[in-house]
Structure 1
Amino acid sequence: MAVKKSQIYSSLWKSCDALRGGMDASQYKDYILTLLFLKYVSDRSLSDPNAQIIVPEGCHFSDMLKLKGSKDIGEEIDKIIAKVAETNGLGGVIDNAKFNDPTKLGDGKDMVDRLSKLMEIFSRPELDFRKNRAEGDDILGDAYEYLMRHFATESGKSKGQFYTPSEVSRIMAKVVGIDATATRQNTIYDPTCGSGSLLLKANDAAPDGLSIYGQEKDVATFALARMNMVIHNSADAELWRENTLSKPHHKGPDGKLKQFDFVVANPPFSDKAWSTGFDAANDEFGRFAYGTPPAKNGDYAYLMHVLASIKSTGKAVVVMPHGVLFRGNAEAEIRRGLIKRGYIKSIIGLPANLFFGTGIPACLIVLDKQHAAARTGIFMIDASKSFVKDGNKNRLREQDVHKIIDIFQNSTEIDGYSRMVPLAEIGKNDGNLNIPRYIDGSEAEDLQDIEAHLKGGIPVRDVDALQEYWAVMPGLRDDLFGPGDRPGYLTAKVEPNEVRATIHAHPEFEAFAAKVRGIFFEWRDTNIDLMRTFDEGDHPAGLIHSLSEDLLARFREAPLIDAYDAYQHIMTYWSEVMQDDAYQITAEGWPVAKVLRELIKDADGKFTEDPDLILGSGRSAKKLKAEVIPPALIVARYFSKEQAEIEALESKAEDFGRQVEELEEEHAGEDGLLAEAKTDADKLTIASVKARIKVIKSDADAADERTVLQKWNALAASQKEAERAAKQAQAALNAMVAAQYANVTDADAKALVVEDKWIASLSGSIDDELDRAAQMLTTRLKALTKRYALPMPVLNDAVTKLEAKVVEHLKCMGFAP
């Protein structure tokens, strides 16, 4: 069966669970990623004669698997790893995690059980990487990325700096200028490469990759980078382990710093020990010509190293804390020097709490030597509010990434978001580059109108502020508001609680909705064949790129709908559902869509997936999982009549249940006619009610109680019978649905997946956008009509009347105020 990304992620995270108890994330990540690396190179060596890593005889994962349950399993795994490391020159890279360490893995049987369980997890079918890579689609690379992100999240502030969020990395790859024209002859460098994720994301932006160079001082992190390069088919990357500032490794023949076409970097923020090991004031490489950075803050030290490392036609982008934009003294002098020479092309402000090593907001500084002499301004983007919460961190959405790249590449100016700031203006601010000085990204203040509070009416300026809606629906404004009793103010024609219904029922809103849906239908009609013809051997990444870019382009013309919001819907659906489907199809073709497989318990006796369909009941029940087509779609297309009958039975059972509840509400109280029929658990059951009826059957004085008991019993029996009938009908339907999978043709499968699943889901998302547009207008109009509904004279009159009532009541009580 084809590999799903979600299944890989699930299995890998289970492997983390197997180790989690004995060590923290910064430690067990080394074990998990080492095993992932070894499993990958082992599988690839068996299927790819050109594999970059040689696996010696006796060192394949199958050999490690034979060690399960062995008392010397940890020692033997270490020997296998050592041999692979020695053969491939990977000493100090893949042999850092010691699998025979009782302090981390436990003594005796604990170690054996823990490592045996790990071997079992990594032997699961979904972790077979012999066929994992289609051109342009790297399942394993994404899995490695997934683990990196989670380890960074769990590692804490002091240990999470080895990973740059992939969304930021993708932005950096684009703003640094890597595009379809880049070739393997172009060089890219990261002086603080961490786990290498930033370099690899930048490398992915070039059609055939780039020549990769990097340096990293931390031993464990450098090992991650080397493994990451191999896993991403970039084993020839020139990485070096040493401190970049004190001992830069990459040099030219003349002994000077090697210069590159592109540089990307996410150096440690505000490094207090940056100058350890060398004399910065007399730097042999001349990196600090514009001033020596402060001794206790190395931000500009890294920035100047990057600047010195790019060619005269080169470009760079560096992640920096916001402080570099406005701090004074030595840093201000360096900053003014960079501005004067035109090296800073752009500054992009990012959201706070985005990076794993810190919660402070950061920015991207884009350097460009090639066009420095002609530069007259710096393009600034304030993307600080563009994010979504993701656990305890913030994360850029797909729409945020795309928007930042689009705005940057086109130098588009948007009020409150982006602006080309002239160097002359920056000069007047003495080189201060703090983004809020130049872009006001604050929300417009919702001003209260005192006259409207005093005299009533809705201010025309507040209604005019909604012009984007009135431009699309001019008649709606006239139907919602009429002239006021004086110039500058309007009267609401519709009560606040009727605004939403009025908007949705208005013909202009219906026309707007039809236009938006029409744009989506045009996208559907244009792309439906692309989805239908997607087949075995095709590339999922290419599919979603074509679909999403076309959707984004079309919705740029949609009124009142943000094109990037529409784009986010398809990207979210891709991430959550569609990409798994696509990877299944590209691996095995459309027949995989018809697969309904039986779930099997794991070694712990548990099911690792939730079933989509259950046949039978109890221990003998079969739990089935649909690979691509959910049973609900089979039901909707082939068994709608049977489903309607089940729903009718369930509705009937619910109706009887409501009647039972009403009867109990009326008669089951302490002195009620049903009170004596309750069990010791204070409940009514069919058995307890029958027993009570039997007790009072000859009691003439209990006629009323007997009548109520018999009515309850009849209703409860009817409810139970309807539930039983519904359950039987559902079981029969489940059997028919399971059988139907075998009868689905390829054409049917494509219709079910493309039309009933993919397109239907996306269509629903567009309807959600229409509802959101209506809701935003509704919320604002209701707020305005409620705000000014009771002007001061009306409130004063109400207060006067209430005061008079109070006085009258006091008089009646014998108190004269």
Structure 2
Amino acid sequence: MTTRNDIEQVLWSACDSFRGKIDSSRYKDYILSMLFVKYLSDVSKEKRQEYIQQYEGDMRRVERAMSRERFAMDEESTFDYLYDHRSESQIGQMINVALSRIEEYNSGKLRNVFRAIDFNSQVDFGEVKEKNATLRNLLEDFHKLDLRPSQLGSADIIGDAYEYMIAMFASDAGKKGGEFFTPSQVSELVASLVKPKENDRIYDPTCGSGGLLLKAYKKVPSGKVAIYGQELNAQTWALCTMNMFLHGVDDARIWQGDTLSNPQNIENDKLMKFQVVVANPPFSLDKWDSGFLTDVEADSKGKKKMTAELDPYHRFDWGVPPTSKGDYAFVLHMLASLDAENGRMAIVLPHGVLFRGASEGKIRRQLVEMNLLDAVIGLPANLFYGTGIPACILVFKKNRPQRDVLFIDASGEGNFEKGKNQNILRDTDIARIVSTYEKWETVDKYSYLASLDEIRENDFNLNIPRYVDTFEEEELVDIDKVQRNIANIEAELAQVQAQMKQYLEELGL
């Protein structure tokens, strides 16, 4: 049987073919794409063998049965075909053709999934001889893997291995890693807070490689939910599409494009509505409004200004976030996409959204006054790839029965595990946050249930220390004891100095 560890070892071995030649943020796409092709090939090969036995070699019936499978592959797009031709001088182009054929045969599910990758790239692989050697090594590494379903044991193994590698690449990529991957513990927490249910529509407007969507999906054991997402980066969109497919989520609708200026999840010319919305958007995105300003005339100073009227979906009627910080642009988009009856959403954001003023302060006030904000949860620092700053999770709900807002400070010592490069939320830490949220209670030095009047008194500043007092009182100092200690030390010092003076006199110094 092929274990997850077997897969990971082969993947790391394949990475050795690229290390020192291409940056990991680039070669991850080649590694993960090849894993995807190998999996498709092995699944297809095993299915074909089963049908050949079942229909006693009647190839017409075999082909008819194969046409009803999840995906289709012809001989020249299989991994085995590429492996057999691994020493060809045009192997890079042959791989590109195979990928193109896979897209063509599966245009409904895998359209354009390989469009941002080029196995014949001279920029990435260098001259022909060097490129061919690298690709031959890559094919030989993956040939060791047997990814037939009968050898995997569990359907989750390949998907979990794929996501594990995305996490490893994210860690290696540092700041860039945060653009396509949210740490799984944070994703687990966010998914637990929104509690997806059967028949929900689940949406992530900045879905990256899809980990957060998959955590939410797995909260519904029957899988009877609809998954939607959008991702700006074409390569990351491809990772997400493959990730969904490997986890058996064939009907996920993942769009590529700018969620803010060109949202793709549209229904009847309006933003589609979702019962569950989750996201970890880029922190304080600069120039988030550039997609709106293409046809806007510049003012006398040569500047273009974003206004609420430029958005046909009226997402910014409560205020236009500053150009330099797009956090509330994503919040407002998500709220506009939230189902009016039973919508709930959780979004990971930097702490600045809790207290920054100007237009952000006005938006924040509206969100509280309209009774949309449900909870503010402070997370430990250094949880995310490429940034050590602490983040928070804002939870919103439509049709809230109460006006209070729950504040949780989970950032202190004991609420996380310190890692070498990153801190980690443990299962117990996640469970405590979720339990406190569900019980809706004040816990000394951990959480506080703030009334609307208290938030108003704080001028709608949501900075967590204003509500959750985590101050630890120091023990009272016994002044008399301190004075006695000082007196004893001074006496000892005088005795030592006298002894030293005697020694110096004896030495004639």
Bin of the TM-score, shorter chain as denominator length: 0.7 to 0.9
Q: SS in structure 2 opposite 1:58? A: helix
Q: Structure 2 CA distance, aligned partners of 1:387 and 1:73?
A: 48
The within-5 A match list for 1:677-692 is: none
Cα gap change, 1:258/1:71 in structure 2, threshold over 3 Å: closer, same or farther? same
1:174, CA displacement in angstroms? 0.8
Partner of 1:272: 286
Q: Structure 1 CA distance, aligned partners of 2:126 and 2:291?
A: 39
Contact 2:195–2:219 (Cα < 8 Å) also in 1: no
The within-5 A match list for 1:172-211 is: 172-178=190-196, 182-183=197-198, 185-209=199-223, 210-211=225-226
From 70, 80, 85, the equivalent of 1:67 is 85
**Is 1:394 the equivalent of 2:445?**
no
Q: Structure 2 CA distance, aligned partners of 1:406 and 1:428?
A: 28
Q: SS in structure 1 opposite 2:343? A: strand
Q: Structure 2 CA distance, aligned partners of 1:393 and 1:319?
A: 17
Q: Structure 2 CA distance, aligned partners of 1:97 and 1:270?
A: 29
Q: Structure 1 CA distance, aligned partners of 2:115 and 2:266?
A: 29
Q: Which amino acid aligns with 1:103?
A: V
Q: Which amino acid aligns with 2:271?
A: L
1:223, CA displacement in angstroms? 1.1
Q: SS in structure 2 opposite 1:119? A: helix
The within-5 A match list for 1:658-737 is: none
Q: Which amino acid aligns with 1:314?
A: G
Partner of 1:52: 70
From 125, 135, 142, the equivalent of 1:122 is 142
Contact 1:67–1:116 (Cα < 8 Å) also in 2: no
Q: SS in structure 2 opposite 1:233? A: coil
Partner of 2:403: 376
Q: Which amino acid aligns with 1:336?
A: R
**Is 1:42 the equivalent of 2:60?**
no
Cα gap change, 1:809/1:358 in structure 2, threshold over 3 Å: closer, same or farther? closer
1:204, CA displacement in angstroms? 0.8
Q: Structure 1 CA distance, aligned partners of 2:369 and 2:243?
A: 39
Q: SS in structure 1 opposite 2:230? A: strand
Partner of 2:319: 291
1:239, CA displacement in angstroms? 1.4
Cα gap change, 1:799/1:199 in structure 2, threshold over 3 Å: closer, same or farther? same
**Is 1:802 the equivalent of 2:496?**
yes
**Per-residue displacement from partner, 1:741-776 (whole Å, max 9, x unpaired)?**
xxxxxxxxxxxxxxxxxxxxxxxxxxxxxxxxxxxx
Partner of 2:117: 97
Q: How many residues align?
A: 470
1:369, CA displacement in angstroms? 0.6
> 1 or 2 for the larger relative contact order (CA 8 Å, sep ≥6)?
2
Q: Which amino acid aligns with 2:133?
A: D
Q: Which amino acid aligns with 2:452?
A: L
Q: Structure 1 CA distance, aligned partners of 2:491 and 2:291?
A: 81
**Per-residue displacement from partner, 1:403-454 (whole Å, max 9, x unpaired)?**
2222222234332222222222111100000011112335543554322223
Q: Structure 2 CA distance, aligned partners of 1:158 and 1:76?
A: 30
Cα gap change, 1:340/1:34 in structure 2, threshold over 3 Å: closer, same or farther? same
Q: Structure 1 CA distance, aligned partners of 2:317 and 2:366?
A: 9
Contact 1:44–1:51 (Cα < 8 Å) also in 2: no
Contact 1:348–1:383 (Cα < 8 Å) also in 2: yes
Q: Which amino acid aligns with 1:804?
A: A
Partner of 1:164: 182
Q: Which amino acid aligns with 2:439?
A: N
From 68, 77, 80, the equivalent of 2:95 is 77
Q: Structure 2 CA distance, aligned partners of 1:105 and 1:444?
A: 61
The within-5 A match list for 1:427-576 is: 427-445=456-474, 448-455=477-484
Cα gap change, 1:444/1:62 in structure 2, threshold over 3 Å: closer, same or farther? farther
Cα gap change, 1:27/1:450 in structure 2, threshold over 3 Å: closer, same or farther? same
Q: Structure 2 CA distance, aligned partners of 1:423 and 1:807?
A: 72
Contact 1:189–1:260 (Cα < 8 Å) also in 2: yes
**Is 1:308 the equivalent of 2:300?**
no
Q: SS in structure 2 opposite 1:236? A: coil
**Per-residue displacement from partner, 1:194-224 (whole Å, max 9, x unpaired)?**
1111111111111122200111121111111
Cα gap change, 1:292/1:35 in structure 2, threshold over 3 Å: closer, same or farther? same
Q: Structure 2 CA distance, aligned partners of 1:104 and 1:810?
A: 76
Partner of 2:444: 415
Q: Which amino acid aligns with 1:61?
A: F
Contact 2:231–2:259 (Cα < 8 Å) also in 1: yes
Cα gap change, 1:67/1:444 in structure 2, threshold over 3 Å: closer, same or farther? farther
Cα gap change, 1:445/1:145 in structure 2, threshold over 3 Å: closer, same or farther? farther
Q: SS in structure 2 opposite 1:379? A: strand
The within-5 A match list for 1:778-797 is: 791-797=485-491
Contact 2:417–2:426 (Cα < 8 Å) also in 1: yes
Q: Structure 2 CA distance, aligned partners of 1:404 and 1:59?
A: 48
Q: Identity of counterpart residues, as a percentage?
A: 41
Q: Which moved more, 1:419-428 or 1:397-406?
A: 397-406
From 115, 134, 141, the equivalent of 2:159 is 141
Q: Structure 1 CA distance, aligned partners of 2:251 and 2:131?
A: 36
From 231, 237, 251, the equivalent of 1:236 is 251
Q: Which amino acid aligns with 2:258?
A: N
Contact 2:169–2:177 (Cα < 8 Å) also in 1: no
From 246, 249, 261, the equivalent of 1:246 is 261
Cα gap change, 1:361/1:78 in structure 2, threshold over 3 Å: closer, same or farther? same
Q: SS in structure 2 opposite 1:239? A: strand
Question: TM-score, normalization: structure 1?
Answer: 0.55
Q: Which amino acid aligns with 2:10?
A: S
Contact 1:77–1:99 (Cα < 8 Å) also in 2: yes
Partner of 1:15: 14
Cα gap change, 1:111/1:277 in structure 2, threshold over 3 Å: closer, same or farther? closer
Contact 1:417–1:441 (Cα < 8 Å) also in 2: yes
Cα gap change, 1:127/1:299 in structure 2, threshold over 3 Å: closer, same or farther? same
Q: Structure 2 CA distance, aligned partners of 1:229 and 1:186?
A: 17
Q: Which amino acid aligns with 1:110?
A: E
- Structure that is richer in helix per residue: 1
Cα gap change, 1:148/1:125 in structure 2, threshold over 3 Å: closer, same or farther? closer
Q: SS in structure 2 opposite 1:297? A: coil
| Unpaired runs of at least 5, structure 1 | 456-790
Partner of 1:87: 105
Question: TM-score, normalization: structure 2?
Answer: 0.87
Q: Which amino acid aligns with 1:227?
A: M
Q: Which amino acid aligns with 1:379?
A: L
**Is 1:223 the equivalent of 2:223?**
no
1:241, CA displacement in angstroms? 1.3
Partner of 1:112: 132
Partner of 1:323: 352
Partner of 1:489: none
Q: SS in structure 2 opposite 1:274? A: coil
Q: Structure 1 CA distance, aligned partners of 2:284 and 2:350?
A: 8
Q: Structure 2 CA distance, aligned partners of 1:261 and 1:347?
A: 20
Contact 1:5–1:143 (Cα < 8 Å) also in 2: yes
Cα gap change, 1:808/1:277 in structure 2, threshold over 3 Å: closer, same or farther? closer
Q: SS in structure 2 opposite 1:92? A: coil
Contact 1:78–1:95 (Cα < 8 Å) also in 2: no
Contact 1:25–1:151 (Cα < 8 Å) also in 2: yes
Q: SS in structure 1 opposite 2:347? A: strand
Cα gap change, 1:119/1:150 in structure 2, threshold over 3 Å: closer, same or farther? same
Q: Structure 2 CA distance, aligned partners of 1:310 and 1:272?
A: 25
**Is 1:214 the equivalent of 2:229?**
yes
**Per-residue displacement from partner, 1:690-736 (whole Å, max 9, x unpaired)?**
xxxxxxxxxxxxxxxxxxxxxxxxxxxxxxxxxxxxxxxxxxxxxxx
Q: Structure 2 CA distance, aligned partners of 1:443 and 1:122?
A: 55
Partner of 2:60: none
Q: Structure 1 CA distance, aligned partners of 2:42 and 2:215?
A: 24
